[in-house]
Homo-oligomer: A and B are copies of this chain.
Amino acid sequence: MLVKPCIPAGFMELLPEEQIVFNSMLNTIKNAYERFGFTPIETPAIEFSEVLFAKAGGETEKQIYNFTRGDKEYCLHFDLTVPLARYVAEHFNDLTFPFRRYQLQKVWRAERPQRGRFREFYQCDIDVIGSTNPLIDAEIVSVINSVFIELNLGGFVVSINNRKLMSGFIASLGLKESSQDILRLIDKIEKQDRSSLSDEMVSLGATEEIAKQIFDFVEIDGTNDEIVAKLKALKNKDELFLTGLNELETVVSGIKSLGVPDKNYKIDLKIARGLDYYTGTVYETFLTEHGNFGSVCSGGRFDNLASYYTDEKLPGVGISIGLTRLFSQLKADGFFAKSQSVPSKVLITQMDSRYLEKCLEIASKLRTSGINTEVYLEEERIGKQFKYANKLGIPYVIVIGEEEFTKDIITFKDMSTGSQEQKTLEEIIDKLK
């Protein structure tokens, strides 16, 4: 009896032609991260539950894939931030700070599968640990800028805000105690109507007038310089507000020095990030030429990464790209052109299997020159061999027949134009390299 071959819902599995595109996106992100000096680490997929849950709890804990072996409970990591905290605490004495690491790994969450939610997905994270310097926050925007220019998905905007500025402003309205809760409400501003948000603010101790002041504040708009000027003009005396404003100004001026085009970043006081974890700069990134993707790259600054594992205070800043979700959204959007299904640049075909030996020799020479080469090894009509190249999207085909076998000349076909030429192997290598 046959078993039906299938995978669980919520897992993304790609055909080769899609996998090639996915891998190239992953590689683009990796290269951009390395260009800014981030160094790779990789942590085990399985960790002790008691270690990873030192911090987590509630909603997160329910979404974990966990299991018991012997007397220990283990789990699959559900993000890369908690493992980073554990890693930095564990290897503290072997690391050099500020520690700039990237990490591109799958994480797992036992969520109910739904459109755009995956149980297994790639996170592409960077963090800089061990410095409070706001210029690092600026550099992070430059990294995001490089990544999304190189991914070539059309226009994008990195929205930037500062949680100190926001909390300070809320505190100056006499709502210091509720500031986290009010930030969570601001985070919903694009999804929920003002009057119900206003009601919720009132239930947190604001008056309707104060709620309106908050809405007016987060709506402050203009160029980045104009927004900074308007914030200064408020003459707000709250110390946290002023620290935040100062950080925001440094970040924006650093981003400018780093040559990030104006159109690619913007102060947006509506970006609050729901998580209490963030304590300074926060980021979200939006694509401008695609439908409702939501933020495709988010993060922010935090005061202390690993307080559950070490007494060392570890401030830092980081971002994450959820590549599996982004890829699936782009795919659903019909964004990807049909790509090759194999990495081969050239297929060597033969008119007769007697020439196979010659084909293998040529293949070996092409490969030694670094050219991805496949030989059609089966005995088939030449037409079928060409069809195979076409189907897989291999751009060039070499044909070895009687003439090519005896002379040192090779028939070389460009599959996209259909044009066919006689060339020497050296000419072909020059062309393909």
Contact = CB atoms under 8 A, between A and B. Distances in A.
A187 B16 CA distance: 36
A19 to B, nearest CB: 5
Is the interface on chain A under 10, 10 to 19, 20 to 34, or 35 or more residues?
35 or more
B8 A48 contact: yes
Contacts of A44: 7-8, 11-13, 120
A333 to B, nearest CB: 21
A221 interface: no
B377 A51 contact: no
B8 A91 contact: no
Contact of A139 (B98, B309, B377, B392): B377
B254 A5 contact: no
Contact of A377 (B46, B54, B136): B136
A86 interface: yes
A165 to B, nearest CB: 21
Nearest to A54: B3
Given A37-B374, A133-B378, A342 B310 contact: no
A377 B258 CA distance: 13
B94 A15 contact: yes
A2 B310 contact: yes
Interface of A: 2-8, 11-16, 19-20, 22-23, 34-48, 50-51, 54, 65-67, 69, 72, 74, 76, 85-87, 89-91, 94-96, 98, 100-101, 106, 108, 110, 119-120, 131, 133, 135-136, 138-139, 142, 146, 253-254, 257-259, 306, 308-311, 341-344, 347, 356-357, 360-361, 363-365, 367-368, 370-375, 377-378, 388, 391-392
